[in-house]
Amino acid sequence: MNDAFIHPRALCESVTVGAGTRVWAFAHVLPGARIGRECNICDGVFVENDVVLGDRITVKCGVQLWDGITIEDDVFIGPNATFTNDRFPRSKVYPDSFDRTVVRAGASIGANSTILPGVEIGTGAMVGAGAVVTRSVPPNAIVVGNPARITGYVADREDPGVPLLRANGAGSPGRVALGVGSASLHELRVAKDLRGELSVGEFERELPFTPARYFLVFNVPSREVRGEHAHKRCEQFLVCVHGSCGILLDDGRNRREITLDRPSRGVYMPAMLWGTQYRYSPDAVLLVFASHHYDPDDYIRSYDDFQKIVSSAPVPA
């Protein structure tokens, strides 16, 4: 702790405080707490014993971190954010153990938000000011409100909503790379006459594989999120044949969000891409073609595991 700065009016009882960390006035850190390097513990912060803080964490004024809380690297915690660790608190009644709350690396917790015990705030997620988080937040999700609901995702780029350029005139197919792995956005051919409209795509011509199966997703409550996994081998092609939904694509290095809102627009999602679907309209029907039969072993359901796999792979040229 020799390289840490402890304000003369702070009470830091822990000897496990990393180099470059600053503990400011009226903060109180109990003996069992562990604080990493280059953290900023602001005025009036309380840190209990069974608390683990990683490196480069900012904890703004008025925050209390109770037993059972783990904060990973590069997390921002806004002023007066409240963490809880007992779902059924009674005076002088103590549980055998406290629910573990984990805030993953790079997440941000807004001012005056409340985090219920036992939840996980995913990597890179953002909790809005004043939100009440009652269940775990997916990686990179933006949540607001009481109870907190997903309103968006932190994406490098969002779909601008501009139609794709047509290669051969009106009604012909178009394709554009999305800059996320080899994912691509497709405009499918549309034929119109007095009898109505028809949209068509031919696999292995306009579309990149021959499907082994399909599935339909519908009647999804608008606040719910689907997907949140990657596939090791399976490729997918998604078309919202009715209504609309948001598609978030993540290759571990880049993210992009696309809105599917017409049956002539589709997204090709190759293997080893983290996919999330959310913001379903009440009438949304999402059609998904898959290159492989269902295999539970083909799924990667942990975003941390996904990131470890892609970070060990060579960067595409």
The string of pLDDT tens digits covering residues 199-221 is: 888 888 778 899 999 999 999 98
Residue 279, amino acid: R
Question: Per residue in 181-204, pLDDT tens?
Answer: 999 999 888 888 888 888 888 888
Look at residues 24, 30, 26 and name the one whose alpha carbon lies nearest to residue 12: 30
The residues pairing with 250 across neighbouring beta strands, listed in sequence order, are 255, 274
The pLDDT of residue 159 is: 52
Catalytic positions: 229
Residue 298 has pLDDT above 50, yes or no: yes
For the chain, the average pLDDT equals 89
Q: Is residue 298 part of a domain?
A: yes
The pLDDT of residue 166 is: 45
The pLDDT of residue 156 is: 58
Q: Is residue 118 part of a domain?
A: no
The pLDDT of residue 236 is: 96
CATH number of the domain that 307 lies in?
Answer: 2.60.120.10
Q: CA-CA distance, 227 to 274, in Å (whole number)? A: 8
Q: Is residue 254 part of a domain?
A: yes
Domain residues for 304? 158-312
Helix, strand and coil in the chain, % to nearest 5: 5, 40, 55
Burial of 278 (0-12, 13-18, 19+ CB in 10 A): buried
- Quick check: bond before 147 cis, omega within 30? yes
The pLDDT of residue 169 is: 41
Q: Is residue 13 part of a domain?
A: no
The pLDDT of residue 76 is: 98
Residue 167 has pLDDT above 60, yes or no: no
Look up the pTM and report it: 0.78
Q: Is residue 230 part of a domain?
A: yes
Contacts of 133 (CB under 8 A, 6+ apart): 113, 114, 115, 116, 119, 121, 127, 143, 147, 148
Q: What is the mean pLDDT of residues 76-89?
A: 93
pLDDT band at 158 (very low <50, low <70, confident <90, very high): low
The pLDDT of residue 70 is: 97
Per the structure, the count of domains in the chain is: 1
The pLDDT of residue 317 is: 53
Q: What is the mean pLDDT of residues 10-19?
A: 94
Q: Is residue 72 part of a domain?
A: no
Q: What is the mean pLDDT of residues 64-87?
A: 95
Residue 165 has pLDDT above 50, yes or no: no
Which whole-number Å values give the CA distances from 215 to 35, 224, 287, 317, in the listed order?
47, 18, 6, 34
Contacts of 92 (CB under 8 A, 6+ apart): none
Q: Is residue 185 part of a domain?
A: yes
Question: Per residue in 20-57, pLDDT tens?
Answer: 999 999 999 999 999 999 999 999 999 999 999 999 99
The pLDDT of residue 173 is: 63
Residue 228 has pLDDT above 80, yes or no: yes
Q: Is residue 252 part of a domain?
A: yes
